[in-house]
Amino acid sequence: MRQHNRICAEIDLDAVLYNMEQMKDRIGSDARFMAVVKTDGYGHGAVPITKMLESVPYVWGYAVACLEEAVQLKENGISKPVLVLGCVFPDQYEEMIRYNIRPTVYTEEMALEMSEEAVRQGKDVFFHIKIDTGMGRIGFPVGEESVDSIERISRLPRVRTEGVFTHFAKADETDKTYTRQQHDNFIWIKEQIEKRGVKVQYYDCDNSAGIIDFPEMKHDLVRAGIAAYGMYPSEEVDKKAVRLRPALSLISHVTFVKEVEQGTAISYGGTFVAQEKMRVATIPVGYGDGYPRSLSNKGSVLIHGKRAKILGRVCMDQFMVDVTDIPGTRFMDRVVLIGEDGDDRITVEELSDLSGRFNYEFVCCLGKRIPRVYRQGGDLIS
């Protein structure tokens, strides 16, 4: 297997499965999962993760953000249902139906046009109808007019109203009042739809925060996103309820070690100047890889199990660290940017806080030029 010495992200597939199992234990055996793999599986790699989850019986299918992501899964042999959570545009309807991809539907106009394309192809299209219960993004508003629209949509030719769902805006916050109001709105819509005799197979509203803090709101499906990758939606959810294991490590190697004298400036702008004689190592990673420039003079890495502080500005492709107190550091030594080394660990959350981001954003911004390699059963498999 090719060595990736400059940088690589190691993804532990066993950790992803472990996290799914922990969430399953939380909600019980009667609900099924939609694994959210948008933005290339939150930067972890959507195709390898979905291929691993294909054989997991309680995983119903997958959710992505756009049609392009859905088509990528289908073209890589994924057979379980794939739902596009965002907008599918009119010029994409033909491809969407041809690949049997589920759209999120939130206007009658789009439903009608999708139905017409399904009739043209002689295939059924499976709608998941979005309800805006308080997110303020996309979706039918809560009210009788929306119920009327959903009833009319359900009667369109070649249409299956497979799902109705909403999204919680504040489930990861300590105050749960707003989430309960959203759920009450969702229940009202559900009851009105059922009164009209509209057949819906799946109702769902729980996201990662909902799974952790509101397992009673699971309905027929739950959507596991950030938690599947071993990260919590916020510091305010009940971490004791679901124990998660981070799936991603970010690894590099030292490319140069030098001694510098007092007064030596390091990196662009000379924002760090040595106050004494020091040993400095260069790491071949930068903001071109998605490693934030805002970690300049703030972040650290692990070398030989010890912390090495970033000196000066993070460049596009390199940055420097202080290895004065890490004797023996030399060319090709392993560097842990995210993950464990010895008794210490650098987490995505730590780097997110230091860089002014949050964990979702940090992993999604890890660049495409970072190779992803995968571990399963303790072995590197790709």
Q: Answer yes or no: are the C-beta atoms of 370 and 290 closer than 8 Å.
A: yes
Q: Answer yes or no: are the C-beta atoms of 4 and 195 closer than 8 Å.
A: no
SS3 content of the chain, % helix, strand, coil (to 5): 35, 25, 40
Q: Is 320 annotated as a binding residue?
A: no
- Please tell me which residue in 123, 199, 239, 268 is annotated as part of the active site: 268
With tokens 């057949």, the residue in question is 199
Q: How far apart are CA 322 and CA 205, in angstroms?
A: 47
Give the DSSP letter string of 103-172.
EEE--HHHHHHHHHHHHHHT--EEEEEEEESS--SSSEESSHHHHHHHHHHHTSTTEEEEEEE---SSTT
Query: Three-class SS of residue 23?
Result: helix
Using alpha carbons, select from 68, 61, 121 the residue that is nearest to residue 92.
Answer: 68
Q: What size, in residues, is the chain?
A: 382
- Please tell me which residue in 38, 130, 170, 218 is annotated as part of the active site: 38
The angle at the Cα of 376, spanning 242 to 369, to the nearest 5 degrees, equals: 95
Q: Answer yes or no: are the C-beta atoms of 119 and 158 closer than 8 Å.
A: yes
Q: Catalytic residue at 360?
A: no
Identify the bridge partners of residue 280 per DSSP, sorted by sequence position.
258, 322
Q: How far apart are CA 213 and CA 175, in angstroms?
A: 11
Q: Is 135 annotated as a binding residue?
A: no
With tokens 């399963």, the residue in question is 376
Q: Answer yes or no: are the C-beta atoms of 216 and 209 closer than 8 Å.
A: no
The angle at the Cα of 256, spanning 254 to 261, to the nearest 5 degrees, equals: 125
Residue 268 phi/psi, 5° resolution? -55, 135
Q: Catalytic residue at 38?
A: yes
Q: Answer yes or no: are the C-beta atoms of 134 and 179 closer than 8 Å.
A: no
| DSSP summary character for residue 208 | H
Q: Which residues are annotated as a binding site?
A: 137, 316
Active site residues: 38, 268
Q: Which residues are annotated as a binding site for substrate?
A: 137, 316
